[in-house]
């Protein structure tokens, strides 16, 4: 497994349990949606994958390597974490400088080539000299993805990637993500986006994994959706055998 959580426990500083004995494995090349109600611990779990948070009990391994103080720098190169708000990730005067920041900080080779390849991968080639704040929200989100792709990560972790996007931007983002050759974990409330991109879904509720299986089967089960406070758009009904 390229991602492995083994009996992970994490409690917030105020004493609220966030993750309760969570075990999860994701194989290389898998695309997995992480679903669940607000406050379920989804973002907390995602932040464990590149060492932003550390388990108080249990272990997290990425590419077979235990995430520790000694390995966290390399882990963060392997795991590209894309925040919900692209403005949390874009802070340089130009797009090119933002995308180059990670490779330069890690002293990686061929930084200009990495920047151009990353921008091309998200359909933003030619935008390198533009100021990020002059871009549309959807364009900024794609540039935020480019800032981690320039590190050549094997794993992409996205927090609510489709939130606040208009339909055209949502479609463009889906096309970008579909074309990436990476392992993907996507935290989302957008069930149709999860269905489009992720064959497998994991539902986290009350800090525990409550479902781990095919996305379509989950979304076609009205009882499970109601139990986990998940809702499809009004009028959408899925056949578990279709698609």
Q: Does residue 122 contact residue 143 with C-beta atoms inside 8 Å?
A: yes
For the stretch 40-55, pLDDT in tens is 899 999 999 999 999 9
What's this model's pTM, rounded to 2 decimal places?
A: 0.92
**Which tokens go with 135?**
């871009």
Per-residue model confidence as pLDDT tens digits over 134-148 = 999 999 999 999 999
Closest C-alpha to 137, from 164, 160, 161: 164
Structure tokens at 69: 């103080």
Please report which helix (H) or strand (E) contains residue 142, including its range: helix 137-149
> Which domains does the chain carry?
3-227 (3.40.50.300)
Q: What is the average pLDDT value for the chain, to the nearest integer?
A: 93
Residue that is written with structure tokens 């991968």 in the block: 121
Strand runs labelled E in 111-214:
155-159, 183-187, 200-205, 208-214
Identify the bridge partners of residue 159 per DSSP, sorted by sequence position.
187
Average pLDDT rounded to a whole number, residues 82-111: 95
Provide the 10 A C-beta neighbour count for residue 12.
Answer: 12
């Amino acid at each position: 497994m390229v991602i492995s959580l083994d009996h992970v426990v994490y409690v917030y500083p105020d004493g609220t349990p966030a993750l309760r004995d969570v075990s999860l494995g994701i194989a290389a090349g898998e695309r997995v949606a992480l679903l669940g109600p607000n406050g379920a611990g989804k973002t907390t779990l995602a932040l464990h994958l590149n060492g932003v948070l550390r388990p108080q009990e249990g272990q997290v391994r990425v590419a077979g390597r235990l995430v520790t103080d000694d390995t966290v720098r390399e882990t963060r190169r392997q795991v590209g974490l894309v925040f919900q708000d692209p403005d949390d990730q874009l802070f340089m005067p130009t797009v090119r400088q933002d995308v180059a920041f990670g490779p330069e900080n890690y002293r990686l080779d061929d930084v200009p080539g990495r920047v151009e390849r990353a921008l091309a991968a998200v359909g933003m080639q030619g935008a390198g000299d533009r100021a990020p704040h002059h871009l549309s929200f959807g364009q900024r989100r794609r540039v935020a993805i480019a800032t981690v792709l320039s590190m050549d990560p094997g794993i992409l972790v996205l927090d609510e990637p489709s939130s606040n996007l208009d339909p055209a931007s949502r479609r463009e983002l889906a096309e970008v993500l579909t074309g990436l050759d990476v392992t993907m974990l996507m935290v989302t409330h957008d069930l149709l986006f999860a269905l489009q991109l992720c064959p497998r879904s994991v539902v986290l509720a009350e800090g525990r994994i409550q479902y781990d299986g095919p996305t379509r089967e989950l979304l076609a089960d009205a009882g499970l959706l109601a139990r986990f406070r998940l809702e499809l758009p009004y009028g959408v009904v899925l056949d578990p055998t279709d698609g």
